[in-house]
């Protein structure tokens, strides 16, 4: 992948927080 792990984690966290909301 071309993304940094940090970026992947941030994107995943956004998705998770949206699902939880």
**Could you tell me if 8 and 1 are in contact, meaning their C-beta atoms sit under 8 angstroms apart?**
yes
Q: Which two tokens stand for residue 19?
A: 């699902």
User: Would the pTM of this model clear 0.95, i.e. be above it?
Assistant: no
Q: Which two tokens stand for residue 7?
A: 């970026």
pLDDT tens digits, 1-21: 567 889 999 999 999 999 887
* DSSP letter for each residue of the chain: --S-HHHHHHHHHHHHHHHH-
How many residues in the chain?
Answer: 21
3/21 Cα distance (integer angstroms): 26
């Amino acid at each position: 992948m071309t993304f940094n792990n940090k970026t992947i984690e941030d994107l995943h966290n956004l998705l998770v927080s949206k699902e939880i909301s």
